[in-house]
């Protein structure tokens, strides 16, 4: 049984009784989603700020420690700071690459959908 081909799916869905509190559900869902959208945005930005603060704080502490303990510790500090910096850059780059991948896939999928729609309309024309 192919979905949509025999219409059973639609006929079954039409049997679904309309719940009494659908309007309340829609209103509540909308406001909950808006709340979660704000929360997600806040979590994202607070994550960035927290990472940056931890990095700066770690640098300040290590810098002070290196100044007190001379050249060898200073070299250790520079190496650690560089490694931390590259780890952060790597993570940022990974996120950016993923974002571009998603955007590209989205475009590809949109083109695929347009092609499929064109093929479907061509088949309709041919069958007439």
- In 10 A of CB 9, how many CB atoms? 13
- Using the rule CB under 8 A, which residue among 93, 102, 118, 121 binds other proteins? 102
CB of residue 10 vs other proteins: minimum separation in angstroms?
8
- Using the rule CB under 8 A, which residue among 47, 96, 103, 125 binds other proteins? 103
CA distances from 113 to 4, 57, 103, 107, 110 (A): 17, 50, 15, 10, 5
Considering only residues 109-128, where is the footprint of other proteins by CB under 8 A?
109-110, 112-113, 116-117, 119-120, 123
Q: Are 30 and 37 in contact (CB under 8 A)?
A: no
Q: Which H/E stretch holds residue 115? A: helix 71-127
Token pair, residue 100, equals 């571009």
- Using the rule CB under 8 A, which residue among 68, 71, 106, 128 binds other proteins? 106
Q: What are the residues binding other proteins (CB under 8 A)?
A: 1-6, 8-9, 11-22, 25, 28-29, 32-33, 36-37, 40, 99, 102-103, 105-106, 109-110, 112-113, 116-117, 119-120, 123
């Amino acid at each position: 049984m192919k979905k949509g081909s025999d219409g059973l799916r639609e006929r079954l869905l039409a049997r679904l009784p309309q719940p009494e509190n659908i309007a309340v559900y829609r209103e509540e869902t909308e406001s909950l989603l808006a709340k979660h959208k704000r929360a997600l945005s806040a979590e994202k930005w607070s994550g960035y700020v927290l990472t940056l603060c931890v990095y700066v704080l770690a640098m300040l502490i290590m810098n002070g420690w290196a100044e007190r303990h001379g050249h060898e510790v200073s070299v250790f500090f520079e190496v650690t700071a560089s490694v931390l910096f590259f780890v952060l850059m790597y993570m940022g780059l990974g996120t950016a690459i993923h974002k571009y991948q998603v955007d590209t896939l989205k475009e590809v999928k949109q083109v695929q959908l347009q092609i499929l729609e064109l093929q479907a309309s061509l088949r309709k024309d041919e069958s007439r």
